[in-house]
Amino acid sequence: MRAWHGHLSVASSGRAVPDLTAARRLRAPALALLLLAPLTASATAFELELPLACTPGTDCVIQHYVDRDGTSGAHDYHCGSLTYDGHKGTDFRIPTLEAMREGVDVLAVAPGKVLRVRDKMDDVSVRRIGVENVKGSECGNGLVIDHGEGWQTQYCHMRLGSIVVRPGERVQAGAVLGQVGLSGQTEFPHVHLQLTKDGTIVDPFSYKPDVAAMEGEATCKNEIAGTSLWAKDLQADLAYTAGSILNVGFSDRADLKMVDIEGGMLHDPDTSAPVLIAYGRAIGLLKDDIQHMRITAPGGQVLVDQAVDPLEANKAQVFVFAGRKRPSQGWPAGRYEAVYSVERDGETILEKPFSATLE
């Protein structure tokens, strides 16, 4: 068991969400579900709606953007590290497997005609079954929609049995296509949205006609200029953030692991809990970021107020947890409050308060 009494424990993962090294090993190749046939057309105005029935920053986040680096390196359109080598789309992630089981709808981002569908792969992490077992089907369950004038979208990693549209069917923007899943080459529940124009990958956050999104220079110092294709009322919600808080909560588990948080099956402790633990999980943190956890008891007493050492490298995913053993007289009943935060360059960039009532 790890030491408590105000000490903060930290763990990180380059596997549950690939970092730049692991991602090259596990990266999704050309998403072999459905080869996209280019259409000949001139560039035209094209606008995208949100691909999930969620609120960005609340119950979904962007895990990865299009890789804009044409070399063996990787950077997103903001010259940041929220991508990996060869990544061709935008990954919209939901926080837990429990959320996936409850059901999160995948929506058409624009009107169009369904071209191809696959819905026969189990929802299981590729870490369990191995990359070789999804070779040629990396996209998992998914579909392709043709929007006319050369525009097509592809949706990957959808939930088995959830797809409600068929080839040849016409859909409107916002129409339900199915639900978020864990099929194909993925280790976390999300939908990979891939956009092409005349068969060429497009970054929906920074589009330039006649400029290939994935053929940029290895050196990137400033935001890559281009037009956002997202609907105007979505652009503020989808503004670039180098880091997001994915989960927070309380637990009575002293041996808390990343898989426990991903599963979403943790429950609030009660007054008899042997330990009181507060945890936070974030994605996309940068080298030298400092994570902090503070816990207060019902009477205002500070139980924990401590920071982790600065991160030694960029982290695709990381979690921390802190807590105390049960006092000899037991936990006082009432509301316990916590705040998980991330500091960068001396400023708090992420902060999430949360609470649990012990009875």
| Amino acid at residue number 205 | F
Per-residue pLDDT of the chain (359 residues; tens, 9 = 90+): 333 334 444 454 443 334 333 333 333 433 444 433 333 333 447 999 999 999 999 999 999 999 999 888 899 999 999 999 999 999 999 999 999 999 999 999 999 999 999 999 999 999 999 999 999 999 999 999 999 999 999 999 999 999 999 999 999 999 999 999 999 999 999 999 999 999 999 999 999 887 778 777 667 877 888 999 999 999 999 999 889 999 999 999 988 998 889 888 788 899 999 999 999 999 999 999 999 999 999 999 999 999 999 999 999 899 999 999 999 989 999 999 999 999 999 999 999 999 999 99
Residue 338 β-bridge partners: 295, 354
Count of CB atoms situated within 10 Å of the CB of 197: 23
Compute φ and ψ for 259, nearest 5 degrees: -65, -30
Q: What's the pLDDT score for residue 25? A: 35
**In three state form, how does the secondary structure of 276-331 look?**
EEEEEEEEEECCCCEEEEEEECCCCCEEEEEECCCCCCCEEEEEEEEEEECCCCCC
| Amino acid at residue number 96 | T
Superfamily the domain 31-240 falls into? Glucose Permease (Domain IIA) (2.70.70.10)
With tokens 């960029």, the residue in question is 314
How close are the terminal C-alpha atoms of the chain, in Å?
Answer: 25
3-class secondary-structure state, position 11: strand
The pair of three-digit structure tokens given for residue 243, joined into one six-digit string = 């880091």
Q: What's the pLDDT score for residue 212? A: 78
What is the fold of 8-15+242-358? Immunoglobulin-like (2.60.40)
Q: What's the pLDDT score for residue 11? A: 52
Q: What's the pLDDT score for residue 18? A: 40
Domain boundaries, the chain: 8-15+242-358, 31-240
In this structure, what DSSP letter does residue 128 have?
A: H
pTM (predicted TM-score): 0.84
